[in-house]
Amino acid sequence: MTDSQSKAREQAESAFGKTQSQSLARNRINSEMDAVVQQREEKTLRLRALRLEKEAELAASAASAGAGKSARK
């Protein structure tokens, strides 16, 4: 009887070990994906700020160029 209990225990421990390693791997993958998403969001925000700054500069230079032409007339 102890043989069947020890075999059952070994099987249960083996199954638990597999489940635990799968869970750890899943958690690691999720952490890596979260880091990638956060980096992407930070880069997007940085690029958006640069684009808006550039657009504002272009609009200001266009406005000053337009004002300069109308003052010459």
The three-state secondary structure class of 48 is: helix
Tell me the two tokens of residue 20. Answer: 């635990």
Residue 55: the pLDDT is: 97
Query: Mean of the pLDDT values across residues 52-70?
Result: 87
Overall pTM surpassing 0.85 (yes/no): no
Name the residue type at position 36.
V
Q: Which residue has the tokens 């750890």?
A: 24
Q: What percent of the chain shows pLDDT beyond 90?
A: 77
> What is the widest separation between alpha-carbon atoms in the chain?
107
The three-state secondary structure class of 73 is: coil
* Residues contacting 19, CB < 8 A, separation 6+: none
